[in-house]
Structure formats: structure tokens, C-alpha cells
């Protein structure tokens, strides 16, 4: 199995479609499930079938990063997990800062899935003086004034925004000002960021709207052409 490099082998300019990266995460989850079930190997057909993709799609996605698998064996699950984690950058630990410790923020602090995949919220920030100094799920809450010091000390490059929509842009600006390079935004609003800062928005209401559309239009021509997964498109 080849060692994947930084650039995509299947694209002349090294750019990888976002849908491919999304599917890599799905492949990783399924491979991890297979390992937990005691499986040592799998195939593109098996991996694609359970996720609703064709075996050709699986092979095409992986081909962006190199050649994987063995003749007559398929993919060795552990090896492919390590390769995908390296591609995604999750073969290292990522300390994160979270701004906003309301109901959503508290729920995110209690979510164990982050740490299982290499992400750890090391500090939370809020403007409410009553929350200062409290510890939630092992994470201390600081005032936003402490953001520069805490992010520098912990070398934080990723941030989460879990504040009301009206405060989201200010929270993003604060994170950018201290050198955060990637932001996961749970506020239901579009925020403006410099080009060098990556943004992923998670609007749960939009996701439910997409789900309600699929259910309401089941059986229609529209729903028949829609993919099973929102990240299934090339």
C-alpha cells in the first residue's frame, strides 16, 4: 500500500473535491466499526454497499491519494484507517477552543465523539460572568479576555462557535484575531472570515429542512433523483 502524500494523485492541481473528503470520513467510520467487530479486511464492494456507494466510487475516491489494497485480499482495515487518518490530519491530537457555553455548548462539551477522533476541547469561553471559573465536563470556562493567552499556551488552531446568531460574527472575529485557522460554526447565521481561515457551518434547522423535503417528496421525481447522502455527489 502506498503512503499517501499531501496532494491528490487524481487531480492535476492537487485539489480534492469536498464530497470526496466527506466520503473519506464515512469510510473511516465504517472501517472503525469493522475493526471493532473483529474484521481484518474489507473490499471496495463491501465498503461501498453498506454506505450506499458503488465499489467504483470507493476506488475512485481513494485513488485521489494513492494506491491501496492487495490483490486477492482487498483492504487491510487497520492500514486503511491509518492512511485515511493521515490524509484527514487526525493522526494527531487537535486542541480546540469553544466560544459559547449555553445549552448547545454544554452538550458539545459532553460529546465524547470529538476526542475519539482526535479532537479535544481544552478551553471554553463565555461573556457571562456567572460562568467564569466553572468546570463543565472537565473543561474550564474562561472570559473571552483570556482567549489570546489560552490559545497561545495550548497552540489552538481550531475553534467552535456555539453562541446565538447575533454574537457569532464577533466570536469568529475573536478567534481569527488569536490565530485560529479553522472554525466550526453552530450559530444559524452566515459569518464572514478571511480567505486563510476555513469554515464549516452546522445549521441543524437546515439539516431538518433537507430531511423534511425528502420525506414530503418521497415517490416524486425530485426525491428519486436525490442522493441518499448529502455528500454523495462528485
Mean pLDDT of 227-234: 46
Reported as a single tens digit per residue, the pLDDT across 180-220 is: 999 999 999 999 999 999 999 999 899 999 999 999 998 76
CA–CA separation, 146 vs 167, rounded Å? 18
Domain spanning 94-205: CATH superfamily:
NAD(P)-binding Rossmann-like Domain (3.40.50.720)
For residues 67 and 97, the model is more confident at 97
For residues 60 and 69, the model is more confident at 60
Average pLDDT, the chain: 88
Q: What percentage of residues in the chain have a pLDDT greater than 90?
A: 79
CA–CA separation, 185 vs 169, rounded Å? 10
CA–CA separation, 1 vs 37, rounded Å? 23
Residue 228 has pLDDT above 70, yes or no: no
Contact criterion met (CB below 8 Å) for 122 and 156: yes
Which top CATH class is 18-88? mainly alpha
Residue 234 has pLDDT above 50, yes or no: no
Residue 67 has pLDDT above 60, yes or no: yes
**What residue segments make up the domains of the chain, in order of their start?**
18-88, 94-205
Name residue, grid cell 458503488.
54
In eight-state DSSP terms, residue 75 is E
CA–CA separation, 19 vs 138, rounded Å? 35
For residues 221 and 157, the model is more confident at 157
Domains 18-88 and 94-205 share a fold: no
**3-class DSSP state of 153:** helix
Reported as a single tens digit per residue, the pLDDT across 209-225 is: 999 999 999 876 544 54
- pLDDT tier at 116 (50, 70, 90 boundaries)? confident
Residues paired with 219 in a beta bridge: none
Contact criterion met (CB below 8 Å) for 108 and 160: yes
Amino acid at each position: 500500500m502506498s503512503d499517501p502524500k499531501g496532494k491528490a494523485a487524481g487531480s492535476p492541481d492537487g485539489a480534492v473535491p469536498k464530497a470526496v473528503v466527506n466520503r473519506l470520513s464515512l469510510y473511516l467510520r465504517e472501517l472503525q466499526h469493522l475493526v471493532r467487530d473483529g474484521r481484518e479486511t474489507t473490499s471496495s464492494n463491501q465498503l461501498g454497499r453498506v454506505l450506499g456507494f458503488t465499489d467504483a466510487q470507493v476506488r475512485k475516491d481513494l485513488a485521489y491519494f494513492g494506491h491501496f489494497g492487495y490483490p486477492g485480499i482487498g483492504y487491510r482495515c487497520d492500514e486503511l484507517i491509518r492512511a485515511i487518518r493521515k490524509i484527514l490530519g487526525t493522526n494527531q491530537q487537535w486542541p480546540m477552543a469553544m466560544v459559547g457555553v449555553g445549552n448547545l455548548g454544554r452538550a458539545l462539551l459532553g460529546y465524547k465523539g470529538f476526542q475519539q477522533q482526535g479532537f479535544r476541547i481544552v478551553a471554553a469561553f463565555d461573556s457571562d460572568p456567572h460562568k467564569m471559573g466553572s468546570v463543565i465536563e472537565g473543561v474550564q470556562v474562561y472570559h473571552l479576555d483570556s482567549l489570546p493567552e489560552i490559545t497561545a499556551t495550548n497552540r489552538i488552531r481550531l475553534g467552535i462557535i456555539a453562541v446565538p446568531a447575533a454574537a457569532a460574527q464577533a466570536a469568529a472575529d475573536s478567534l481569527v484575531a488569536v490565530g485560529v485557522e479553522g472554525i466550526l460554526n453552530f450559530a444559524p447565521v452566515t459569518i464572514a472570515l478571511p480567505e486563510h481561515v476555513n469554515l464549516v457551518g452546522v445549521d441543524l434547522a437546515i439539516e431538518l429542512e433537507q430531511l423534511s423535503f425528502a420525506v414530503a417528496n418521497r415517490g416524486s421525481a425530485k426525491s428519486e433523483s436525490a442522493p441518499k447522502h448529502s455528500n454523495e455527489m462528485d
